Amino acid sequence: MGDEPEGSNERRQAWVTVDLAIFTIRDDHLHVLLIERGKEPYIGRRALPGGHIRGSEALDGAARRELREETGIDGLHSHLEQMRTYGDPDRDPRGRYVTVAYLALVPDLPVPVAGTDARRAHWVPVDKALADTPGLAFDHEVILRDALEQTRSRLEYTTVATAFCPEPFTVSDLRHVYEVVWGVPLDPSNFRRKVTRAEGFLEATGGRRVSDTGRPAALYRRGPARTLIPPLMRSAEVGATGIEWSPVAADA
């Protein structure tokens, strides 16, 4: 694990930050909100939005503040969840940094992104964010991959997919979320059967949405359930790392 000057074996304080993987769905692709760094290190590189926690602030509070600053969203129409903490001693050249990564799922925003913060924020397709060179700043590529896998897994066992949909939404809107996040087509009929039978997932509003083509679709809002019973499992192939919980390797 290296033995550079700072890397003593003594206890030391560390800077603590929160970083956010904020996902949304735009034109058939999963996008993540990235900022362009305006200073060293990694100047000009893309990074997940985030920042230091403040003296009197809880971790969740710092994450919510960052989400609001970057998107203008105040958590009411979004899902915000702690994901995982990253603290390798050399992950930031400025010193010992520990970052608590959060996962946010938001509907495609009607308001332009970038609130009070001067940094330029962009929606970037996740595939592109992970493939472009140079890559993301710091260890943000690892964080983004973990966030993506966690999101895919969450859709199986929870009802968070609705966080991507502005209310009210149709069953097709919801299916579209699953298809985009998992990257596989789903049978419309079987999907409908499952989500409408799962207790507390959807609540019919009674309304219908007419489009210029096809039969009008019934409208729903989010139901009270947070866990999805029975789960809606992806069948292999899907971005299948199969690893959701990454145990600590025996020789790290």
Partner DNA sequence: CCCCCTAAAGGTCAACTTGACTTTAACTCA
Partner DNA sequence: TGAGTTAAAGTCAAGTTGACCTTTAGGGGG
Residue 46's region, left for phi above 0, alpha for psi from -120 to 50, else beta, is beta
Q: Is 82 in the site for a second copy (CB under 8 A)?
A: yes
Given a second copy, DNA, none, residue 37, with its beta carbon under 5 to 8 Å by kind, binds: none
Q: Is 85 or 196 the residue whose CB approaches DNA more closely? A: 196
Q: Is 54 in the site for DNA (CB under 7 A)?
A: no
Q: Is 74 in the site for a second copy (CB under 8 A)?
A: yes
Q: Is 183 in the site for DNA (CB under 7 A)?
A: no
What does the alpha-carbon distance between residue 199 and residue 193 come to, in Å, rounded to a whole number? 12
Report the site for DNA in 191-230 (rule: CB under 7 A). 192-194, 196, 208, 210-218, 230
Given a second copy, DNA, none, residue 222, with its beta carbon under 5 to 8 Å by kind, binds: none
What does the alpha-carbon distance between residue 143 and residue 135 come to, in Å, rounded to a whole number? 12
Q: Is 99 or 170 the residue whose CB approaches a second copy more closely? A: 99
Residue 16 neighbours by CB under 8 Å, 6+ apart: 52, 53, 97, 98, 99, 100
Q: Is 53 in the site for a second copy (CB under 8 A)?
A: yes
Cβ(228)–Cβ(200) below 8 Å: no
Binding footprint of a second copy, residue count (CB under 8 A): 64
Residue 54 neighbours by CB under 8 Å, 6+ apart: 62
What does the alpha-carbon distance between residue 231 and residue 249 come to, in Å, rounded to a whole number? 29
What does the alpha-carbon distance between residue 122 and residue 131 come to, in Å, rounded to a whole number? 16
Given a second copy, DNA, none, residue 16, with its beta carbon under 5 to 8 Å by kind, binds: a second copy
- Min dist CB 26 to a second copy, Å, is 23
Q: Which parts of this chain interact with DNA (CB under 7 A)?
A: 170-172, 187-190, 192-194, 196, 208, 210-218, 230, 233, 235
